[in-house]
Chain A
Amino acid sequence: MNLTSTTGGGPISGLPRPRRRRTDKAHRGITAAIFLSPTVLIIGLFTVVPMIMTIVISFHRWSMFTPITEMDFVGLDNYARLLSDSARVQAIANTGVYVLLSVVITVPLAFLIAMLLYFPRLRGRNIVRVILFATYVIPTIAIVIIWSNIYAPGYGPLSAMIQAIGITPPGWLSDPSWALVSLVIFNVWQMLGYYVILLVAGLTQIPEELYEAAKVDGAGIVRQTRSITIPMLSGSLVFVVLMTIINSIQVFDPIYLLTQGGPAGSTNVVSFEIQRSAFQYGQAGDASALAVSLFMLIVLVGVVLNAISKARKR
């Protein structure tokens, strides 16, 4: 490609450049193909092909420990079994609770913090932004290790703090009714900074004049927030909701590392169930049916949120 480039020269040299003009278009077509081919090849081979394979496998019975040629077509059996297997039903329900709790806690909290960080003349807000975002770049396993220590009964600081104010702390990760909540807290802590950054960016896009006009009309801060900030920020808010759902719907690392779905199946989620079905029990068909369902759920969420944000714009 570099053969066609000239060294030095430039428009100021005033030399006529008659060569190559006619072939430019075709030449550029080839360049475009060359530039795109690595991407198309990689995403095609390692994303699109596996996606199609997942759908195909979901209609078959196939143990991953046997060759793929021994796959048996079973139609919708795997999907039917999803709903009769209590572990899988529980995994789906747990995922729903986990997603719902994550959204309900994360989005309002991120919004309030973003509002706070957006307050003018507040010193130190940039440092707070950096601290918040730092949690997002640390490996999940490191966060898992530290939080399992924070949650530890007895020598863990969280229980000690709660005990100090006279309340008996729950068993956190070892208590079936608290384990999923403990994992949500962990997820909120890890991801909050990311969403705050997105919302602060959205806030800076709101024209200052709107607030000026509202102030002239005597609107207080609550009124301004309700009538200007939230409607103007709805695009960013919908995006944050979408990202929170997509992030929490596929939670895997902390489950695998901390609880393995326990205690008593209380933290078993869909992605963990997929991995366990496939790689521990070898049931690739069941795992794929679950994977396809998960993907359809994400598509559905995307479509619904898109419709909501379009309806709001009108």
Chain B
Amino acid sequence: MSRRRTHPRTLAQRALLYLLLAVVAVVPLFPLYWLVISAFKTPAEFVTIPPTWFPASPTFDQVNAALTQVPFAQSMMNSVIIAGGATISVLITSILAGYVFAKYQFRGKNLMFWGIVATMFLPPIVTLVPLYYLVNSMGLSDSYIGVLLPWLANAFGIFLMRQFIMDVPDELIEAARLDGASEFRIVWQFVVPLIKPAVVTLAVFMFVFSWNNFLWPLTILRTEAMYPVVLTLNRLMSYTMSFDYQNVVIAGALIASLPTLIVFLISQRVFVQGIASSGVKG
């Protein structure tokens, strides 16, 4: 990339740009900073006026309380099962469907593809009532399957996979076919390695999306033992009105955010690129 376009010439210009950049970094970071320091404050310090900008005597008590006083570990496990299950399923269904939409010709293909993509713009709230009715009447409320069922396939995933698989050369697939490889093996052995960045993007996207999904579990789950961590946090929030407990809730929020943050930070280079190209390619 040519770097000559309008680059800042004078020292004043550069200083101003760096100042702006600092503001753009600090403002979004501040709430995250506040989350972390609040989780390590004592309940008394948490409600002092004016607020302190750094914990005077940092303590792990709130983190411990969040982990032990409520079934937090159980609900983290539930979240792992729900988010992990949805991610694996969406990867499989999206890669297979994306491959067919990218490389096969049949009548009604485009209609079917764009019909599926259109569901991307359908807010979950619109279909919530019948969805609840359907899953409930299947006797699947309060089960992992019930939480997972509507999220096992996903239009965004199919769209993303198709965009990237279209760039895989046809010759490669033909050569593999002449070699006698099954279609399934072609996908697994030749296509997937070539579109790895897109697969990683979709995996991270789905994991974050399902980990954070609130409305559907709230609708379909009854017993607390089944709750993913976002619902446990909600319960903590609504049942603990005492100030003593408020930063236990904050400690819980910090713990609940860690898995998605870690997954994001590990994959950020690939993930950000993948998300970016989903917009440009669209």
Contact = CB atoms under 8 A, between A and B. Distances in A.
A180 interface: no
Q: Which 10 A-B pairs give the minimum distances between C-beta atoms?
A: A201-B276, A53-B130, A50-B127, A250-B123, A142-B253, A198-B279, A50-B130, A35-B96, A42-B153, A46-B150
Q: Identify the interface centre among A10, A39, A113: most chain B CB within 10 Å of its CB.
A: A39
Interface stretch (B32-40, B55-63, B69-77): B32-40
A150 B29 CA distance: 13
Contact of B129 (A11, A46, A287): A287
- Chain A: interface secondary structure? helix
B-side interface size class: 35 or more
B49 interface: yes
Interface of A: 1-6, 9-11, 17, 20, 24, 28-29, 31-32, 35-36, 38-40, 42-43, 45-51, 53-54, 57, 64, 68, 113, 116-117, 119-122, 124-125, 127-135, 137-143, 145-147, 149-150, 154-157, 160, 163, 189, 192-194, 197-198, 200-202, 204-205, 208, 211-212, 215, 221, 224, 236, 239-240, 246, 249-250, 252-253, 256-257, 271, 274-275, 278-279, 284, 287-288, 291-292, 294-295, 298, 302
Which of A2, A28, A43 has its CB near the most chain B CB atoms (within 10 A)? A43
B21 A197 contact: no
B121 interface: yes
User: Chain B: interface secondary structure?
Assistant: helix
Contacts of B180: 4-6, 9, 17, 20
Interface of B: 1-8, 17-18, 20-21, 24-25, 28-32, 34-35, 38, 46-51, 53, 92-94, 96-97, 99-100, 104, 106, 112, 116, 119, 121-134, 149-150, 152-153, 155, 158, 175, 177-185, 208, 211-212, 214-215, 218-219, 229-230, 233-234, 237, 246, 249-250, 252-254, 256-257, 260-261, 263-265, 268, 272, 275-277, 279-280, 282
A284 to B, nearest CB: 5
A64 to B, nearest CB: 7
Contact of B25 (A40, A127, A141): A127
Given A43-B153, A43-B155, A143 B21 contact: no
A255 B180 CA distance: 56
Contact of B32 (A135, A291, A302): A135
Contact of A284 (B30, B32, B129, B183): B129
